[in-house]
Every structure is written in structure tokens, then in C-alpha cells.
Amino acid sequence: MNRFGICFLFFIIPVLLSAQSVKSNKIKSDITFSGYVKSDMIYDTRQTVNYREGHFLLYPEEPLYDNDSNDINEAPNFNILAIETRLKGDITGPAAFGAKT
């Protein structure tokens, strides 16, 4: 992932999802956004046995040696998983003929 993608994930998305309100003086309307992004960051020092694309870690892989006696499964791995996201928008408008909109 390039630098722009990392900056977008960590700085711009939380700003967009933070609660904000837009109000007008002429028409009494209100828009409120709220929500969250649940993400998991995982750093493993060796390869692991897992399922559901790394969501559930079972156990580390056993050593597997190549011809030069290097452990192939001793490779570090870093994952970022955005599993759950919720965005909510509450919109209220002006009263029309005595009724709330």
C-alpha cells in the first residue's frame, strides 16, 4: 500500500466519520453523521495456521527448512483488517404545516 493509502486510512476516514452537524439559519434543519470503523492490526513473527482470512489464529506453523537450513515459516507478517463499519446519518428538517419532518 502506498503512502497516500496509509494516510487515507489513518487520518482522513476518522475525520469523515466523526460526528458533525451542519445547520442553516434560514431553514431549521440538521444533519448529524456518526459511526465507526472497527479495525484489527496484527503483527506475527512467523507464519500461522488460521481461518477466516486470519480472523482466528489457531497456532504457529511448525518449522519448515529449505536446503540451506533456513526456516521458511519464520517470515513476519503484518495485516490490517477493517471488519466492521457503521455510518449513520440523522436528518431533521423544518416543520411543514405544523408537522415535524
**Domain coordinates of the chain in residue numbers?**
3-91
State mean pLDDT over 27-50: 83
- Summarised one tens digit per residue, pLDDT across range 59-78 is 888 999 999 999 998 988 88
Contacts of residue 22, defined as CB under 8 A and 6 or more positions apart, other chains included, come to 30, 31
Helix (H) or strand (E) holding 88: strand 77-92
Over residues 43-55, mean pLDDT: 82
pLDDT of residue 11: 62
**Tens-place pLDDT, residues 89-99:** 888 887 778 77
Whole-Å CA distances, 37 to 44, 62, 79: 23, 34, 16
